[in-house]
């Protein structure tokens, strides 16, 4: 917990807590005035968590909202450059607001601004990770936002739900709070269905049936669907994810106590053991309660939705390959190659059926397993038919034009086919990351990263104006 780099924020009694606040929790939707009572309450909550020994990171939206107020602009502008200018104006005022509130409680903070490109670059990703760990070790609360000035539409996170999930995974946080304007998820829209039932615990996000029409504002880009995408990313990395109402931040402390209490001594021992061996494990067991912490459970727990972490988290370099990188193309493989990958072998040319897109060596690609191979190209030019399911991502040893020549061949033939053979593998096993059940994208064949595609869908529905409005 105290170390740097690829180590955990975890400790037996202290948790790493990431709190994500969307624009609608920071500024009034109409007047764009800062919501001072919520911000103050978040500050008190974060300081209380620190006093209880937890490490806290805040992911704060609101730069554009604060910028609108500062410049007396009524509506989000359409154009990206105007949004970027407003974000630049608002970000420093936002941080000055956070800093003055935290200073009353003598709590130092730091600003971290990230873009998707920073995450995609391995050394920048590790630098961000190290800096955040260093800040946490110094007792500082890092406040993270997207660097809107640099982020253009194709490479932006867009909403801060995804950014908060990637941040939580990057630092091995224990809990991610996605604060919103409803108490929790419901199975139906509670505004129109009086019999709607709250969803309190989600142990299998793949089976989740929830109403996603709740939450979201005309100022922010996220909504309930981006929160579910974020929950999928975070839980796949072993981070318990909570959706709860932002208007009562004090609830965070009660929920954290509840989560702590629901960690059994046995599971804590398993976790310590896994961490000793440099491995990962998740520990939350809703059914098992530590006797030492039983009293904590008697504290009434506010309504919230809690997504339980994956028992087989994908972390560090494997998480980064899956979610940090933008794929440049797709490699289609047969069932035999897929079986080999799940058995922890590398990807050999003989198992490759087809290649799509143009990519260079060491770029990221999607790995899709095909239902049926063809012996000759079909009318659509493809070497496969039926469904293709995305099963993972990889960093490749050969460029797309080279893989087109060596696909289906034995590795011993690589040299004679393309003139050199740096590796017998298209991708080594350590450069391949397979989706867990939780992190498997819902729309595997989409051209963009799946989480970005889903986010874009959500943004389209919530942004009030055209093209540039989804910053
Ligand atoms: N980075 C932008 C916020 C992006 C955004 O709208 O996020 P969210 O309010 O979480 O949907 C800002 O600070 O204004």
Q: d(Cα 430, Cα 450) in Å, to the nearest integer?
A: 22
Distance (Å, rounded) from C-alpha 81 to C-alpha 3?
40
Per-residue pLDDT for 11 more than 70? no
CA of 35 to the centre of ligand 1 (A): 15
* Confidence (pLDDT) at 314: 94
Least confident piece of the model among 22-31, 320-329, 411-420, 437-446: 437-446
CB-based burial of residue 358 (10 Å sphere; 0-12 exposed, 13-18 middle, 19+ buried)? exposed
Task: Yes or no: say if 264 and 290 are a contact pair by the CB < 8 Å rule.
Answer: yes
In the reported structure, the alpha carbon of residue 69 is separated from the centroid of ligand 1 by a whole-number distance in angstroms of 15
Ligand 1 centroid to residue 23 C-alpha, Å: 6
User: From CA 166, how far away is CA 461, in angstroms rounded?
Assistant: 23
Structural element, H or E, at residue 101: helix 80-104
| Residue among 26, 34, 64, 86 to mutate when testing ligand 1 (max atoms within 8 A of CB) | 64
- For the cut 60, the answer to whether the pLDDT of residue 1 exceeds it is no
Provide CB contacts within 8 A for 96, sequence distance 6+.
none
Q: In this structure, are residues 223 and 216 in contact, taking their beta carbons and an 8 Å threshold?
A: yes
What pTM does this model have?
Answer: 0.84
Which of ligand 1's atoms lies nearest the C-alpha of 226? 11
Based on its alpha-carbon atoms, the radius of gyration of the chain, rounded to whole angstroms, reads 23
**Short-list 212, 213, 187, CA closest to 198:** 187
Question: What does the DSSP assignment read for 300-330?
Answer: PPPP-EEEPPPSS---HHHHIIIIIS---EE
Assess whether pLDDT exceeds 60 at residue 294.
no
- Taking each continuous run of H as one helix and of E as one strand, the counts in the chain are 16, 15
Lowest mean pLDDT among 29-38, 115-124, 174-183, 280-289: 280-289
Q: For residue 148, which atom of ligand 1 is closest to its CA?
A: 1
CA atoms within 13 A on the CB side of 162: 28
Instruction: Report which protein residue has its CA nearest ligand 1's atom 3.
Output: 61
Residues with CB under 6 A from ligand 1: 22-23, 61-65, 87, 145-146, 148, 159-161, 220-222
Cα–Cα distance for residue pair 248/266, rounded to 1 Å? 33
């Amino acid at each position: 917990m105290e170390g740097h780099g690829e180590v955990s924020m975890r400790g037996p009694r202290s948790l790493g807590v990431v709190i994500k606040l969307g624009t609608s929790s920071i500024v009034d939707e109409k007047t764009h005035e800062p919501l001072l009572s919520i911000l103050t309450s978040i500050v008190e909550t974060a300081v209380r968590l620190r006093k209880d020994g937890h490490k806290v990171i805040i992911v704060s939206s609101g730069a554009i909202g604060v910028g609108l107020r500062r410049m007396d602009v009524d509506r989000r502008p359409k154009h990206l450059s105007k949004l970027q200018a407003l974000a630049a104006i608002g970000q420093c005022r936002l941080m000055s607001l956070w800093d003055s509130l935290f200073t009353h409680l003598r709590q130092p903070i730091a600003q971290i601004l990230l873009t998707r490109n920073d995450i995609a670059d391995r050394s920048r990703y590790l630098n961000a990770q190290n800096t955040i760990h260093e800040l946490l070790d110094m007792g500082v609360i890092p406040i993270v936002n997207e660097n809107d000035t640099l982020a253009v539409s194709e490479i932006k996170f867009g909403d801060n739900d995804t950014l908060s999930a990637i941040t939580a995974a990057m630092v091995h946080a224990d809990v991610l709070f996605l604060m919103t304007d409803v108490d929790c998820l419901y199975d139906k829209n509670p505004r129109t269905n009086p019999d709607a039932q709250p969803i309190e615990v989600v142990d299998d996000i793949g089976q989740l049936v929830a109403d996603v029409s709740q939450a979201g504002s005309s100022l922010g880009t996220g909504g309930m669907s981006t929160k579910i995408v974020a929950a999928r990313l975070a839980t796949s990395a072993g981070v318990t994810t909570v959706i709860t109402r932002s208007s009562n931040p004090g609830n965070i402390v009660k929920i954290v106590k509840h989560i702590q209490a629901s960690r059994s001594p046995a599971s804590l021992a398993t976790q310590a053991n896994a961490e000793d061996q440099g491995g990962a494990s998740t520990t939350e067991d809703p059914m098992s309660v530590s006797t030492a912490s039983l009293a904590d459970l008697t504290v009434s727990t506010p309504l919230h939705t809690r997504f339980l972490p994956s028992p087989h988290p994908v972390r560090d370099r494997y998480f980064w390959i899956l979610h940090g990188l933008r794929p440049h193309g797709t490699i289609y493989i047969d069932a035999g190659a897929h079986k080999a990958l799940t058995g922890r072998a590398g990807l050999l040319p003989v198992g490759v059926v087809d290649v799509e897109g143009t990519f260079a060596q060491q770029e990221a690609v999607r790995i899709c397993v095909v239902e049926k191979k063809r012996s000759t190209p079909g009318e659509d030019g493809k070497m496969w038919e039926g469904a293709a399911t995305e099963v993972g991502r990889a960093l490749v040893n050969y460029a797309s034009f080279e893989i087109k020549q060596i696909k289906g061949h034995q590795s011993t033939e690589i040299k004679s086919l393309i003139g050199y053979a740096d590796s017998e593998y298209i991708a080594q096993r350590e450069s391949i990351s397979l989706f867990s059940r939780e992190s498997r994208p819902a729309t595997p064949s989409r051209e963009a990263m799946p989480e970005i595609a889903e986010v874009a869908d959500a943004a389209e529905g919530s942004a009030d104006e055209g093209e540039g409005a989804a910053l």
